[in-house]
Amino acid sequence: MHYPALTAVYGGIFGLMFVALSIWVVAGRAKDKVHHGDGGVDYLNRRIRAHGNFAEYVPLALLLVGWVEGYGAAPATIHTMLAPLVVARLVHPIGMLMPVASFGQYALRAPSVTVTWIVIAAASIILLATP
């Protein structure tokens, strides 16, 4: 098994993205003086969900792709999975703030979630097919 160096670099990128999302949530809470939850504030609820969605999916994707890399996958394979995931996870929070049921909301969120699922599924299938 090899050290997953590329996944580690992407992990650093995702770590910074997570901190940025965290600050985004805290700034919203400070603005509206909300100490717990979303205080019934719609935009804050959306920020919290964007942060939560990132926390729910990205760690699993990184873990799976890290194992794929550890088993010796080509660097191109790792970049092919993680570069689109970076873009998807950057676009997702923007989609979360679009007006409800708007074209922009669907145009940004749906592809972002789809890319995330594809990365998780592809890495899982590769791992199951690896002896």
Question: 72 and 2 in contact (C-beta within 8 Å)?
Answer: yes
The pLDDT, as a whole number, for residue 119 is 99
Query: DSSP string of 30-57?
Result: HHTT--STTTT-HHHHHHHHHHHHHHHH
The pLDDT, as a whole number, for residue 131 is 80
More confident residue, 131 or 69: 69
pLDDT in tens, 102-130: 998 999 999 999 999 999 999 999 999 99
Query: In angstroms, what CA-CA distances link 25 with 41, 59, 96, 116, 123?
Result: 12, 19, 13, 22, 30
Under CATH, to which class is 5-129 assigned? mainly alpha
Nearest to 109 by CA among 93, 87, 121, 123: 93
Confidence class for position 1, pLDDT limits 50, 70, 90? confident
Please report, for the chain, the start and end positions of each structural domain, with discontinuous segments joined by +: 5-129
